[in-house]
Chains A and B, each alone.
Chain A
């Protein structure tokens, strides 16, 4: 196997190390240091894909991040990843890649028939055609378009790679390691500034790797290497390659994606695949360089047509010839540099220059080398289908409107240079309003908005000497302000060839009678004719033209197409380019893996998992867990083959007949301390708190200022100035913030402290008619009789040497207690409860039984306190004080809240006493009424009543007060159920509340 297009010597690849790889099933080899693109080109492979819309053959257009064509599906270590640019993917041993957007193969693609239908597929075709009939959209049009569109396939497997996030702070963040990045980094580092220098490519140096210049008596490449080597040794400098800064956000925060492992056959142990850096920089220096722009001509998308800078890079960095009969088509001197490189490697290029009589050192050199140069000449069209075979060329008149006689010349590649476009994406993302610079026909950053400075080619400075001078100065001046050090760095001498003024020419006119497609946007197949149509149809704003034609909307985000698009609009509209303006640059600059964005927060790590101190006991005793907010709680304890329904019924029934124990550690707990604690509670809760004695608990409801119930719970007065507040599991954090808000901002005069103690206490609810007997065994020295510890009473007890808090409160509606001990003793408490409870037939119960017990008692919980209900709706108006003021009280006077037929909680029982009513069902009068059937209420919670052995639900129902006894229908279109029901009291069991007081 030979690589027909690899030159014998030269380039920066490691020729000692051969790497084999596969493309579309065929084996090739390249060298270490190659990209997939350079390795394919070395093997003469130019056809890599099909275009998005017309499925025209596509090759390579660039050599890096700007590549619009060469997008492949990558296979690595059993995984696959779409949307990989072959020009960025480094070669590794065993790499496999495939073309995308073609079927059955890249050589024979059925979709290419679109190319022959192209007169039927102009801009807006999809919008116009698939409008009618409407019903066809989901069934026919969309599936068809989906199959035809797309640039690859996402893996459906779990991604086993690891992605990391990192936060970093620095004095100067420098984006890009070309001449301006290196110079400014060096100057700033010498002043002791903390510097991060980021480079998206594997090699540092940017344009210095390919340009023929001399800095400080060394070649540009050697100078760059020396500087990087020194920077790497400095403790205040972080140098990162393969790292793309893709977003510039508020307050100088930038995000960078570091490809840690993509260049390796597999990720090393303990290494991430990618690392996302969130970098907060005091100052940002943008040295992102520039991207060559194409000249538009007929069939300019044919494989073999590419940027002249890319051809030079393939030659100088990778030692690869993109062709052996090259045609260089240029409007400036850069094309000559490429031609000179070809000539030096024994290949004879032809240069077509649109200018009449350009003169410069570079052109002189080309002439001296005997390169064939044709002035005032253009490429009219490329010829060849899957590869350039020849070019139609012609002379062009001085006004650039008339073409001379067309001749056809043989060539195997066309290297285009339409001058340079500064890469202003990051500057623009920072909020910087860009301005148009006439001399270079492009936008450059304007006034800085954040602490950012753009340097070098990105700021429109194309001379190396000036770039280095400004970059060294900027680096030292900006760092000096931060570090207060001023270590002077000598600016080296530069030897570079002077170039002449470029020609503003950017698009070759169509010859008479020819209808060549002239592409502006190569990835999205947007041609000159498409933009013309959009403008003809009345689209004026460049943002609208972009969206209608999809110009610049592909994954390359128009890096090579935007400016030519603007040129065209300005020409047709007869406006200058700055008047047309450009579309907004938004992050990310390049596609970023979803994995990198998500980082480690996947699966179980997507949120913290909190476990109670009794978790291990639950696990050992076959608990089935459920996510309750951030907590894992036992839902039920499985016995034998029981399912959820059977187990929860058994557990609930055991509470009603014997005694059960439930882990209530997850309840929110807040310590409220201080001389004004009672006053605070009195303002926060709807009921009165000033007279609660020490050793007593009280149930309270708190509102938001808009009158809606925020949370409920019991609060116990532990001592004179110390209260123990409980909240629901879900609202714990919000309630704490709520209290802090009032204490810090509204009533700072109140002398109260609040602190969360949720995790400091483990809690067990002991409920059931035998709970007192059990409690007496646990606390033999305490008086837990009905007199000693009455309902809503509180005691401190000694649980076999462990200090415990005993609250006589009940959520289940049974005689019940809650015991709290310090978290470390939680498991000890639990085991003691189980041990002494055995003789009373104790069983642990989970959240499902807990729900059943509270629902049939008519106790409200989160499903009723859903952010839409007031106390009245929950039958809690008895707790609303008429005398004192409290948070949200004034809102309760709103007319909607006092309406006669206001919604209210009710109980719901199916008439057949068998069919469970799905939660969320709507209550309606007539289930046959035409849609939308007026909804009277909804089922908020459902259970199987263990007391009556039939289904029972709670509902929030309009005019619920007067609805008891009425017959309605519970409708669940989702579950396709209609259930005739009767409305009953929400207090289905023990309506007088005798059990809790027994």
Chain B
């Protein structure tokens, strides 16, 4: 079970969180013309990386905040965590 540093609450066990997928995906702006390809990339196409991956988790049984977690998908090592509105450098 992962041990995730919620930027709002501190170290918490994985069972307080729910997974939210790739955090690098950006939703196309509203009312913007979007090609089929762009839309497919947003809705369906994911890289499913092996290695460092920026992903979303929601601290669902805690502060309910969505957070970004930089995690290695192969080793499960967590490098950094960010608040929803924090820029990831």
Q: Which candidate, A178-186, A244-252, A959-967, is the interface stretch facing chain B?
A: A244-252
B66 CB contacts on chain A under 8 angstroms: 740-741, 744-745
Residues of B within 8 A of A (CB): 1-3, 13, 18, 20, 27-28, 30-31, 34, 39, 42-44, 56, 58, 60, 64-66, 75-76, 78, 84-85
Known: A740-B64, A741-B58, A745-B56. A253 touches B3 (CB 8 A): yes
Closest CB of chain B to A867's CB: distance in Å?
15
User: CA separation between A278 and B1, bound complex, in Å?
Assistant: 10
A470 CB contacts on chain B under 8 angstroms: none
A53 interface residue (CB < 8 Å to B):
no
User: CA separation between A875 and B58, bound complex, in Å?
Assistant: 34
User: CA separation between A249 and B15, bound complex, in Å?
Assistant: 14
Whether A885 and B75, one on each chain, are in contact in the complex, defined by CB atoms closer than 8 angstroms, is: no
Known: A253-B1, A741-B66, A885-B31. A706 touches B43 (CB 8 A): yes
The listed residue (B1, B27, B64, B78) touching A746 by CB distance below 8 A is: B27
Can you show 11 pairs from A to B with CB atoms below 8 A apart?
A249-B1, A250-B76, A280-B3, A705-B43, A737-B58, A741-B20, A741-B58, A744-B66, A745-B56, A748-B84, A885-B30
Residues of A within 8 A of B (CB): 167, 249-253, 278, 280, 431, 449, 683, 705-706, 737, 740-741, 744-746, 748, 884-885, 890-891
User: CA separation between A252 and B13, bound complex, in Å?
Assistant: 11
Closest CB of chain A to B62's CB: distance in Å?
13
Whether A280 and B13, one on each chain, are in contact in the complex, defined by CB atoms closer than 8 angstroms, is: yes
A251 CB contacts on chain B under 8 angstroms: 1-3, 76, 78
User: CA separation between A756 and B7, bound complex, in Å?
Assistant: 23
User: CA separation between A745 and B56, bound complex, in Å?
Assistant: 10
A249 CB contacts on chain B under 8 angstroms: 1
Total A-B pairs in contact (CB under 8 Å)?
Answer: 54
Closest CB of chain A to B63's CB: distance in Å?
11
A706 CB contacts on chain B under 8 angstroms: 43-44
The listed residue (A431, A744, A745, A890) touching B39 by CB distance below 8 A is: A890
Closest CB of chain A to B73's CB: distance in Å?
12
Whether B18 and A737, one on each chain, are in contact in the complex, defined by CB atoms closer than 8 angstroms, is: yes
User: CA separation between A891 and B34, bound complex, in Å?
Assistant: 11
User: CA separation between A981 and B78, bound complex, in Å?
Assistant: 58
User: CA separation between A449 and B28, bound complex, in Å?
Assistant: 40
Closest CB of chain B to A545's CB: distance in Å?
27
Which residue of B is nearest A255, CB measured?
B1
B3 CB contacts on chain A under 8 angstroms: 250-253, 280
Which residue of B is nearest A250, CB measured?
B76
B75 CB contacts on chain A under 8 angstroms: 431, 449
Closest CB of chain A to B45's CB: distance in Å?
12
User: CA separation between A167 and B16, bound complex, in Å?
Assistant: 13
Which residue of A is nearest B38, CB measured?
A890
The listed residue (B34, B58, B76, B78) touching A890 by CB distance below 8 A is: B34
Closest CB of chain A to B7's CB: distance in Å?
12
Whether B84 and A745, one on each chain, are in contact in the complex, defined by CB atoms closer than 8 angstroms, is: yes
User: CA separation between A737 and B66, bound complex, in Å?
Assistant: 9
Closest CB of chain B to A850's CB: distance in Å?
30
A280 CB contacts on chain B under 8 angstroms: 3, 13
Closest CB of chain B to A759's CB: distance in Å?
15
Which residue of A is nearest B64, CB measured?
A740
User: CA separation between A884 and B31, bound complex, in Å?
Assistant: 7
Given contacts A280-B13, A740-B66, 12 further A-B contacts (CB under 8 A): A167-B13, A249-B1, A250-B76, A253-B1, A253-B13, A705-B42, A737-B58, A740-B64, A741-B58, A744-B84, A748-B84, A891-B43
B44 CB contacts on chain A under 8 angstroms: 706
Which residue of B is nearest A278, CB measured?
B1
User: CA separation between A740 and B3, bound complex, in Å?
Assistant: 23
The listed residue (A167, A278, A705, A744) touching B65 by CB distance below 8 A is: A744
Whether B60 and A737, one on each chain, are in contact in the complex, defined by CB atoms closer than 8 angstroms, is: yes
Which residue of A is nearest B44, CB measured?
A706
Known: A253-B3, A740-B58. A748 touches B85 (CB 8 A): yes
Which residue of B is nearest A736, CB measured?
B64
B30 CB contacts on chain A under 8 angstroms: 683, 885
Which residue of A is nearest B13, CB measured?
A280
Closest CB of chain B to A690's CB: distance in Å?
14
B65 CB contacts on chain A under 8 angstroms: 740, 744
A890 CB contacts on chain B under 8 angstroms: 28, 34, 39
User: CA separation between A745 and B84, bound complex, in Å?
Assistant: 6
User: CA separation between A891 and B44, bound complex, in Å?
Assistant: 11
B39 CB contacts on chain A under 8 angstroms: 890-891
User: CA separation between A737 and B30, bound complex, in Å?
Assistant: 20
User: CA separation between A333 and B89, bound complex, in Å?
Assistant: 61
Closest CB of chain B to A41's CB: distance in Å?
41
Closest CB of chain B to A808's CB: distance in Å?
32
Which residue of A is nearest B3, CB measured?
A251
User: CA separation between A813 and B49, bound complex, in Å?
Assistant: 50
Closest CB of chain B to A706's CB: distance in Å?
5
